[in-house]
A = this chain, B = another copy of it.
Amino acid sequence: MSDFSIEMNVRDYELDIQGIVNNSVYQNYLEHARHEFLHSQGIDFADLTERGVILVVKTITMDFKNSLKSKDKFKVVVETYKEGHLKLVFKQTIYRIPDNKIALKAEVTGVCLVNGKLVKPETIPEINNFLAT
């Protein structure tokens, strides 16, 4: 189990015709936060790739609570845990700043492939590190 968050700002090009952040953009926010979390854990994608390791997203569920708008600041909180033998789960919540109103609750599950074969996530030492803490 681990806990991590980053702060971001809405950019105007992310707004749609209704003046709110387009639904698909939240997936960009979630991906960016996951990558920043993984970097913070010493995970280097280039290095993983050289070792034949790929992390693959299998499912995403998003529960839209409140829309973000122009000039909004927000943070994306990332928690991670294992599910079953093979799944790595990222529980991600987006909170508007400063009132902490929840904009989105999301759950992203992924699996690890080494040379194309499914492996338990803890086989990758860097992943084992943050799963153990």
Query: A16 on the interface (CB 8 Å rule)?
Result: yes
Tell me which of A17-25, A93-101, A116-124 binds B. Answer: A17-25
The CA-CA distance from A59 to B60 in the complex, in Å, is 10
Given A58-B64, A64-B59, verify A24-B28 contact (CB < 8 Å): yes
Interface of A is mostly: mixed
A81 at the interface (CB under 8 A from B): no
Q: What's the number of copies of this chain in the assembled complex?
A: 4
Contacts of A35 in B (CB 8 A): 11-12
Tell me if A63 counts as interface (CB < 8 A to partner B): yes
Decide if A70 touches B58 in the complex (CB within 8 Å): no
A-B contact pairs, 23 of them (CB 8 A): A11-B28, A11-B31, A11-B32, A11-B35, A12-B35, A13-B16, A13-B22, A16-B16, A17-B17, A17-B70, A23-B57, A24-B25, A24-B28, A39-B71, A45-B70, A46-B70, A57-B64, A58-B63, A59-B63, A59-B64, A60-B60, A60-B61, A61-B61
